[in-house]
């Protein structure tokens, strides 16, 4: 860009090589318009030597953006603002609650969560299953996982208000079918019956999931659920609610 000659009528024009001739005011208004510009700040564009207007406009734009940022901080971040730490944000010299050197209060809280989770877990899926799971995962390598699940899932989520246990079991049935996690699905079918879901409700939940999760997953889920129900009946843990043979089934002659 360069300034044109001082001929009358050409004051304040801009020559763009090989493109066109535009006035400085049009440039200021259209392509390089700055929201914070005032008539006073734009006055240099009409004076001789205005060919540095692009740099001038950039400076104006940066100043305006900085003013807006400072205004935003004044409105939304007052001088007394203190960021609220996340539940897992710790100072550099602090010890996370799962550390071997955790504080006594943290250890006490974890112990309370573990006991509450152990009780919920036994009431939902049965004491025999819980004892087997703890025994199989009792190695130093695997026991940390048992602690995590018992504290976090059973001690925290399963202790929250807002949903009944049978409603949580119904949710788990659908999610585990979607995940195709058949071992856990069988465990939670047992838990669903212990939490008060009927065979009819479990069957309808599986049929619903079949539509949305796919026929292969639904077929496998029905097989697993049927085997768990039969096993509970054989062990005297459950009484059959639906007929062993469907009235719609026609025996081959």
Token pair, residue 6, equals 């001082």
Decide: residue 169, CB within 10 A, 0-12 exposed, 13-18 middle, 19+ buried.
buried
Q: What H or E segment, with its residue span, contains residue 168?
A: helix 165-179
Per-residue DSSP letter, 159: G
CA 95 to CA 113: how far, in whole Å?
19
Q: How far is CA 79 from each of CA 75, 76, 174, 222, 235, rounded to the nearest angstrom?
A: 10, 10, 49, 61, 67
**Collapsed DSSP state (helix, strand, coil) of residue 228:** helix
Q: What is the pLDDT along the chain (253 residues), one digit of tens a residue?
A: 444 444 444 444 444 333 333 444 444 444 444 455 555 555 555 555 555 555 666 677 788 778 777 766 555 555 454 544 444 444 444 444 455 555 677 778 888 888 999 999 999 998 888 888 889 888 989 899 899 899 989 999 999 999 999 999 999 999 999 999 999 999 999 999 999 999 999 999 999 999 999 999 999 999 999 999 999 999 999 999 888 888 887 777 6
**What is the pTM (predicted TM-score) of this model?**
0.57
Start and end residues for every CATH 1.20.1290.10 domain found in the chain: 164-239
- Fold category of 164-239 in CATH: AhpD-like (1.20.1290)
CA 103 to CA 99: how far, in whole Å?
9
CA 174 to CA 205: how far, in whole Å?
7
CA 110 to CA 66: how far, in whole Å?
48
């Amino acid at each position: 860009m360069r300034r044109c000659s001082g001929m009358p009528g050409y004051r304040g024009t801009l020559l763009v090589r090989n493109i066109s001739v535009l006035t400085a005011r049009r440039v200021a208004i259209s392509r390089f318009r700055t929201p914070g510009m005032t008539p006073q700040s734009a006055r240099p564009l009409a004076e001789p030597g205005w060919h540095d207007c692009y740099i001038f406009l950039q400076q104006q734009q940066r100043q305006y953006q900085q003013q807006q940022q400072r205004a935003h901080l004044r409105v939304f971040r007052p001088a007394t603002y203190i960021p609220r730490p996340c539940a897992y944000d710790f100072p550099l010299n602090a010890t996370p609650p799962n550390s071997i050197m955790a504080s006594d209060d943290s250890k006490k809280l974890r112990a309370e969560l573990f006991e509450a989770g152990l009780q919920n877990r036994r009431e939902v899926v049965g004491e025999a299953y819980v004892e087997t799971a703890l025994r199989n995962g009792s190695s130093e390598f695997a026991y940390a996982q048992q602690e995590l699940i018992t504290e976090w899932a059973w001690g925290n989520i399963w202790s929250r208000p807002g949903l009944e246990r049978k409603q949580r079991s119904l949710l788990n049935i659908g999610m585990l079918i979607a995940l195709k996690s058949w071992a856990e699905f069988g465990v939670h079918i047992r838990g669903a019956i212990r939490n008060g879901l009927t065979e009819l409700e479990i069957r309808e939940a599986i049929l619903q999931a079949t539509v949305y999760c796919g026929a292969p997953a639904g077929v496998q889920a029905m097989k697993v659920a049927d085997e768990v129900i039969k096993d509970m009946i054989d062990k005297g843990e459950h009484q059959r609610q639906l007929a062993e043979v469907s009235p719609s089934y026609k025996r081959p002659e």
